[in-house]
Chain A
Amino acid sequence: ETGVTQSPTHLIKTRGQQVTLRCSSQSGHNTVSWYQQALGQGPQFIFQYYREEENGRGNFPPRFSGLQFPNYSSELNVNALELDDSALYLCASSPPTNTEAFFGQGTRLTVV
């Protein structure tokens, strides 16, 4: 158990809809990163939040957006869902010392 929890664990959405995924970081961790892992691929970095501000972004379109809250939990929002958005979405939290990333169990999103 890493102490990082994600919800929901599974989700099915229709193309064009919007989705919000949630991540509760480990206690004391002020950095949260989100990754997308398509089937058969390695995770791809979406973005990172540090103390409620975006702290880096990967090569994802603006319809992928996020938030971090004062308690350091985080949301990933995806608008106008496309079939290719079907993937495992992983959240990782890191402590202020940035010595390790701790992953949640992921949310498996299927877009039909």
Chain B
Amino acid sequence: RKEVEQDPGPFNVPEGATVAFNCTYSNSASQSFFWYRQDCRKEPKLLMSVYSSGNEDGRFTAQLNRASQYISLLIRDSKLSDSATYLCVVNKGSNYQLIWGAGTKLIIKP
């Protein structure tokens, strides 16, 4: 079993729709959690950190459920520019040795 699992997609979503991704992780001792965005053939870029209390950044909302060991990302009012691969990332310890999911591909259609 992979340490971080995501649905690879692709998710084909019309512009303006709401889309949600989930991710599960296996190590209950994991300390911090992130969503990264990666455009084709580019490096990953931090989208947002994920907290148990939930956090929101504009159209993006992230949530962590430690009891069930899953992380979610919600994108509202999706834009064409949101098309990318979204990677779920877990930091097991305090030293940023990151464990990555394989990513979920999102395609926003006009």
Q: What residues of chain A have their CB less than 8 Å away from a CB belonging to chain B?
A: 31, 33, 35, 40-45, 48, 50, 55-56, 58, 88, 90, 92, 94, 98, 100-101, 103-106, 108
B101 touching A42 by the CB < 8 A rule?
A: yes
CB distance from A95 to the nearest CB of B (A): 10
Q: Are B96 and A94 in contact (CB under 8 A)?
A: yes
Q: At the interface, yes or no: B80 with Cβ under 8 Å from chain A?
A: no
Considering the chains assembled together, what is the distance between the CA atoms of A100 and B46 in angstroms? Answer: 9
The interface on chain B, measured as residues whose beta carbon lies within 8 A of the other chain's beta carbons, has a size of 18
A101 to B87, CA, bound (A): 15
User: CB-CB contacts of B22-50 with A at 8 A, as 1s and 0s?
Assistant: 00000000000000000001111110000
Q: Are A98 and B43 in contact (CB under 8 A)?
A: no
Report the bound CA distance from A103 to B47 in whole Å: 13
> Residue B20 at the A interface, CB < 8 A?
no
Determine the distance from Cα of A90 to Cα of B87 in the docked complex, in whole angstroms: 15
Q: B residues engaging A (CB < 8 A)?
A: 4, 41-46, 87, 94-103
A42 to B87, CA, bound (A): 7
Please, which residues of chain A bring their CB within 8 A of the CB of B98?
Answer: 33, 35, 43, 45, 92, 101
A44, closest chain B residue (CB): B100
When distances are taken between beta carbons in the complex, the residues of chain A under 8 Å from B99 are: 45
Contacts of A33 in B (CB 8 A): 96-98
Bound together, the chains give a CA A92 to CA B45 distance in angstroms of: 11
CB <8 Å contact, A42 and B95? no
| Complex interface: chain A residues within 8 A of B41 (CB) | 88, 108
Residues of A within 8 A of B87 (CB): 42-43
| Cα of A31 to Cα of B94 in the assembled complex, Å | 12
Residues of B contacting A43 with CB < 8 Å?
Answer: 44, 87, 98, 100
Pick from B96, B99, B101 the residue with the most CB of A within 10 Å: B96
Contact A31 B95 (CB under 8 A): yes
CA of A52 to CA of B102 in the docked complex: distance in angstroms? 30
A90 to chain B, nearest CB (A): 6
